[in-house]
Structures are given as structure tokens and as C-alpha cells.
Amino acid sequence: MKNVNQLIGTWKLISFKLRLEDGIIKYPWGKNIEGQVMYGADGYMAGSFMKQNRTLFESPDVMAAKKDECESAMKSYVGYAGAYSLDGMCVFHHTSVSIFPNWTGIDIKRFYEISDNKLSLSTPPLLFSGVQATAVLVWEKLPALKI
């Protein structure tokens, strides 16, 4: 994979914005968002991000959540994992698992750019709350931990 060495590692999300088709910028999960994406030398990736300060479930039982708790959790978190490949300045996430069932088993295309310690991933236009938008995620590379 061309340029794969630059991509390998763990990245911390520092910003997520949506650019609507009319040019308006929105921050659907707020400006303080948390997330990580990891690209392994083995060709697998995992990524997730979430709104800060998510509401805790009433019960500690993961399978006992109320309907409104499930809805809130689903709308405040994105996560998926699978293999990845590069083609030019595009990275394809070949998903095998996803919190959004429609993304399971598909290829998700992201345009990427790496500059210094920052990774920018952007989407082709996608439907978000009924409006066409382009998502732009900026990540900062985390240092390797000594284990």
C-alpha cells in the first residue's frame, strides 16, 4: 500500500464538522468531540467517535437499556472496524462491524491528507439528517506507548 507507513498508528480526533451543500458549517456533536482511529500495519483499522458527556444509562446492565437511552446512545456515537486499503489519496474502510447496520459489509471511501502530525479524512457527499453534506474529520497522531 502506497503511503501506508504515514497512516499507520493511532490518531486522536480533534475536530469534526459537516459542510452542508449550501456551504454552512455545522458541528452535530458539538465542538468538543472525542474519538480515535487506528490503522495497523496488518491492514486492519478501527475507528470511533462520540459526543462528550453522554448521558449514562439508568441500569449498569448493558442489555437493560430503555428505548430512549438506546436512541440517545446511537445518535451520539459512531464506530466501525474492518480491513483498509489505499488508492491514491483515498482510503477505503472495508467494514466488517459497525454500530450503523447499513455500514456493515460495505466499503467506506474517505479522502485523506497527512501533514505534519495531522490526518484529515473527508467524505464524499452523504445524507445527514436529510441534507447532503461532506464530513471533515481532523485527527492528531498519538505517540506510541511503551508497553
Q: Could you give the CA distance from residue 124 to residue 41 in angstroms, rounded to a whole number? A: 26
Distance CA 87, CA 110 (A): 10
Q: Looking at residues 14-32, what average pLDDT do you find?
A: 93
pLDDT value of residue 66 = 94
Burial class (CB in 10 A: 0-12, 13-18, 19+), 65: middle
Confidence of residue 130 (pLDDT cuts 50, 70, 90): confident
Instruction: State pLDDT tens for residues 45-99.
Output: 999 999 999 999 999 998 999 999 999 999 999 999 999 999 999 999 999 999 9
Locate 104 and state its grid cell: 456493515
State percent of the chain over pLDDT 70: 98
The residue type found at 132 is: Q
Q: Is the pLDDT of residue 4 over 80?
A: no
| pTM for the structure as a whole | 0.91
Cell numbers at residue 100, please?
Answer: 450503523
Residue 2 has pLDDT above 80, yes or no: no
Q: Where are the domains of the chain?
A: 4-141
- Higher pLDDT pick, 66 / 2: 66
- The amino acid occupying position 126 is L
User: What CATH number labels 4-141?
Assistant: 2.40.128.280
Q: How many CB atoms lie within 10 A of CB 77?
A: 16
